[in-house]
Amino acid sequence: FRMDQHGQNLNRYYTNPECTLQPSIYGAKSLIDYYATNGKLVVYLDFHAHASKRGCFIYGNVLDSVDDQIQNQLYCKLIALNTPHFDYEGCLFS
């Protein structure tokens, strides 16, 4: 798990981080919100290892628009087509 110095799994605080308890997530989310609000955010990628799954894969979101979802999954498919080290079948969109 991605733990901080207080033993908190930081992946669980993206929805509502507190400035004093999860400062790194609070800061990252503040910047993401700022750039998204100003129309300057194209993509946000959070790279880190998985606790129990091996290999290269992406966990993605389910997007409301069919076109956006196609783009979401197409990005992963293009990675898989360009490297033998990426496991498209290991990706999860939920």
**pLDDT 10s digits, 30-84:** 999 999 999 999 888 877 777 788 889 998 889 999 999 999 899 999 999 999 9
Whether residue 14 contacts residue 25, with contact meaning beta carbons closer than 8 Å, is answered with yes
Residues 6+ away with beta carbon under 8 Å from 28: none
pTM given for the model: 0.62
Cα 93 to the chain's mean position, in Å? 11
pLDDT, average across residues 21-35: 93
Looking up tokens 């993206």, which residue turns up? 14
- Closest residue by Cα to residue 77 from 67, 90, 61, 64: 90
DSSP 8-state assignment for residue 21: T
